[in-house]
Amino acid sequence: MKTKTIAWLRSISHMSPEQVLTASADQLVEEVMFTQLNMADRGYTKLGTATIEFDLIDRNTMIDNKIVSLRAELQTVKAEAQVNVQKLEEQLQSLLAIEVSK
């Protein structure tokens, strides 16, 4: 599959224009995001256009990859929720301790 898109230097990149111009493709690809969206208002620097060619994997592998991704996201959400639950429980216990000491 082949498509044209826009190349954007990531907002967190510390590469100067001179470094971008002299970087190898392998170095640059680590610092660049490719999208049709206008990323300028998000701190990204437009570098130019890119032609991207990639081979799609088979459907079953895509499904397997999506399952792995969703499970990882689920673990992150659960961990964040547990931290929030613990903070709320601590606040509740602090308030209950104040009530008991009256």
Q: How far apart are the first and last CA of the chain?
A: 71
pLDDT band at 97 (very low <50, low <70, confident <90, very high): confident
84: enclosing H helix or E strand: helix 59-100
The Cα 78–Cα 1 span in angstroms is 37
- Determine what percent of the chain is predicted with pLDDT higher than 70: 99
Which pLDDT band, with edges at 50, 70 and 90, does 101 fall under? confident
Q: Tell me the backbone φ, ψ of residue 5, rounded to 5 degrees.
A: -150, -175
